[in-house]
A and B are shown apart, each in its own frame.
Chain A
Amino acid sequence: MTEKEILQPEASSVTHVREARERIPYLAAFGVLVALTLVEIGVVRSAGIPHRAAVVALIAIALAKAALIALFYMHLRYETRILKFTVLGPLVAPAVYGLLLMLDSAARHMP
């Protein structure tokens, strides 16, 4: 590593900064996020979807939206694998707790 590389005051903190500066992925993610939100409203409003399928759909859509925000808008897509794991790894445990809780709730209220 040269001294010039080390002493760059404006060096980016995003590892793959060239890709991160592309605007199109951000706009595409925006379109998908808006579309998914509309689908969520559709799932809640439509009476024909079985309750369990609607619950699974809403949770899956929420996870997809959160992943899009973390990967694109929070730049995780442009970071190293280790940083991605450092951030997303600890969130798995509470997600599992939450899932178990919902399964427990669903089982106890089954007709």
Chain B
Amino acid sequence: MSSTVAQEHGHATAAWPPDAQYGTATPGKIGMWIFLISDAFSFGGLLIAEGILYAGHRPWRQAGEPELGILFTAALTFILVCTSLTNVLGWAAAADGKRKQAAVLLGLTAFGGALFLVGQFQEWFGIWAPGLLREGLVFGQSPRASTFYVITGYHGLHVLVGVAYILAILAGYLRGRVNERQIELLGLYWCFVDFVWVFVFSFVYLLPSLSGA
């Protein structure tokens, strides 16, 4: 029964019936997972490309290029982990019908995402301190610089889209047009951004810094 027909006959909107293989996962949720898997391949391709370039270029860090700020990026990592927590707690609150709490937690998630973007802007261009561009890490001048900007830029784009997505869902939720299922889909996307960042942090920042290359 389509939702329109159901509404005309005074019934509630039909939910996807539980499936033996996929439980109560909706088509929307399966679709989001398929999108995220394909997106994971994009990130995987970029990280593998970085690995190939890293293997063939010694020293990895060219003369005059700055070191990456591990502690600063660790703080950004902490912010992202916090937003994953607030996001999932927001979903749990929505599932429990605690609308105000859910809205506050989603707002905090968006705020954390925006804070991460400010941090990345500082890292690249500089706001309160010189950024990497000014310090000599220039796109196109070395494989290290190019892979750094492409990978962190692609991730940053995901964060930007994620913040817009959160705000759109939050606006819909406040108007009563969004339910916890849509908040869960948002949560899948947002936590994927954190999931990917784990690998970006390790492969772009931590592992190359081990050898001091």
Contact = CB atoms under 8 A, between A and B. Distances in A.
Contact of B84 (A1, A10, A69): A69
A7 B92 contact: no
B2 interface: no
Interface in B56-112: 58, 70-71, 74, 77-78, 81-82, 84-85, 87-89, 92, 95-96
A88 B17 CA distance: 24
The residue among B21, B88, B194 with the most chain A CB atoms within 10 A of its own CB is B88
A49 B85 CA distance: 32
Nearest to B96: A21
A73 B87 contact: yes
B206 to A, nearest CB: 5
A34 to B, nearest CB: 6
A13 B74 contact: no
B88 A72 contact: yes
Interface residues of B, number: 68
A17 B25 CA distance: 11
A94 B55 contact: no
A58 B206 contact: yes
Interface stretch (B45-53, B128-136, B166-174): B45-53
Interface in A82-96: 82-83, 86-87, 90-91, 94-95
Interface in B17-63: 17-18, 21-26, 28-30, 33, 36-37, 40-41, 44-45, 47-48, 51-52, 54-55, 58
Given A51-B211, A102-B51, A34 B15 contact: no
**Range of interface residues on A (Cβ < 8 Å):** 35 or more
B117 interface: no
Contacts of A33: 81
Given A59-B202, A66-B199, A91 B12 contact: no
Given A6-B15, A86-B33, A102-B51, A37 B84 contact: no
Interface of A: 1, 5-17, 20-21, 23, 26-27, 29-30, 33-34, 37, 40-41, 43-44, 51, 54-55, 58-59, 61-62, 65-66, 69-70, 72-75, 79-80, 82-83, 86-87, 90-91, 94-95, 97-98, 101-102, 104-105, 108-109
23 contacts: A7-B13, A8-B12, A10-B180, A13-B25, A13-B181, A13-B184, A14-B24, A17-B24, A26-B89, A29-B85, A37-B81, A40-B74, A51-B210, A55-B207, A55-B210, A62-B202, A73-B85, A74-B192, A75-B184, A83-B33, A94-B41, A108-B55, A109-B58
